[in-house]
Structure 1
């Protein structure tokens, strides 16, 4: 299923995408306005969600929101594709010798087609396409062998980053967490629809120019190793989002940073596409 949060006539609710339509699921018993809660209850709800056919709206007539707006955790891993690690080294970023995790504060989350605000206090705003893994089962101490069983679904993450603020904050959190720096979507594709999440093609373009192009299989630490590593430290909860790393092609090595008016388009095979226009902070506040 392709589960969404959508707004129609001023009301936001949970639905699923089928073809060019969104089926409203909000009337199903047990479905709340929170995708995190839906993920928690998905085993019990799945049959009813799959069987729902009505009411339905044209996809073009609704606004798609961030599929999960209230995760307890939004975590990202740094330098997890070898070519990206190499280009980061050229940009003066130290390369970790183990998994390097950071927080993206959940307040940065925004919709799949929402504007991204360039802060006045950052001159080095960059883009990063990433496969987002959504946890489906509360878990701790999960082995890599069993990690697939706790994945609820996948989505696209645009891990927008301010490189100058990454240097100011060694944990990366500040440079990753400006408001609107976490576009996600366009929907949450449940894990059963993705045959091999380590064989998906990823593409990011700026104003129509291809900048990033890779396969998810090029990760240094795959998604199962990531879950094993994280769950050895903390309990992972349904709805938690893991941004699993970006391939080469970011703007930092060449000094080609985002500016107002730029349009980022991100596509991952089987997951759809999202698109975000950059706007100046002053224009956004006006």
Structure 2
């Protein structure tokens, strides 16, 4: 997109590996602009601290309000830059302070899994679990490693909202004001180990979220964060997942049971949302379990959300 008077050039935040160092960058069209190099080259005056030797964009999110005009200026200048094709991308946030996962948030996914969606009209609330960020999150191109005891590893394409300022007791009407941007995550899930027959086939302990969701590498994320100013309506985005080129999921966030506004309101009543917290919003229909198809070594997974980014990972074994 050509920058015009009064129109900000679209850019995305990312992190690349350069000389074995993690470097926060902007993606502008098909170019990669190193943020600190651009500040140094153009003498951009900024009250924000240097980003050199930082592992991800979390420090930028910590001061998001001050960074936004700086990033816009860097995007407009667009130099010095290199080709996207030459870049090795890492996870944009490594690691989120909290990785908050909405479960059962698409009506079509609930139907395919044989479940019943919460009834908001009768006081139903969102359903959440967490993944451990430092061991779950991997970046684009990295390998999802399936442990030997997991025989039914499944895919779940999801839109993620990245928080950009502290939020506590936020009302849904203003909830999106706290979102810095959006990225993509695949909520890889172990369907077989999630059930715990050793604790009974029914009752409160028959379903184990930790052994179903929290395995090492089961949260590939990235490769970039698209600022919220470029995603005006997160409630109408296409969500897709392909496995080995075959389209498995093709949903839309308009089928959310609880909107992102409602998810933020719900969570912020429970605890303070902090910059860099990631809220994964659930997955649409098309997962492997209903069709009896699961991930195996050598598979290639592509997870994509319209207008946000496209994430590609391989599947291997955790030996």
Residue 78 of structure 1 pairs with residue 103 of structure 2 = yes
Aligned to 1:102: 129
**Matches of 2:188 and 2:176, distance apart in 1:** 27
Aligned to 1:116: 144
Match of 1:10 among 20, 26, 29: 20
Aligned to 1:88: 113
- List structure 1 segments (4+ residues) > 4 angstroms apart after TM superposition: 93-97
Q: Where does 1:134-149 land on structure 2 (aligned, <5 Å)?
A: 134-149=162-177
Structure 1 residue 198: Cα displacement: 0.8
Q: TM-score, normalised by structure 1?
A: 0.93
Structure 1 residue 254: Cα displacement: 2.0
Asked whether the 8 Å contact 2:107–2:117 carries over to 1, the reply is no
**Matches of 2:57 and 2:264, distance apart in 1:** 21
CA deviations 1:67-120 (Å, max 9, x no partner) are 10021100101111011011112xxx6765531100011020000221111111
Structure 1 residue 256: Cα displacement: 0.8
Match of 2:288 among 251, 261, 275: 251
Q: Where does 1:81-230 land on structure 2 (aligned, <5 Å)?
A: 81-89=106-114, 98-106=125-133, 107-168=135-196, 170=207, 172-230=209-267
Q: TM-score, normalised by structure 2?
A: 0.84
Structure 1 residue 171: Cα displacement: 5.2
**Matches of 2:174 and 2:116, distance apart in 1:** 32
**Matches of 1:194 and 1:99, distance apart in 2:** 23
Name structure 1 gaps, 5 residues minimum: none
Name structure 2 gaps, 5 residues minimum: 1-10, 40-47, 119-123, 197-204
Aligned to 2:4: none
Structure 1 residue 209: Cα displacement: 0.9
**Matches of 1:104 and 1:224, distance apart in 2:** 21
Aligned to 2:85: 60
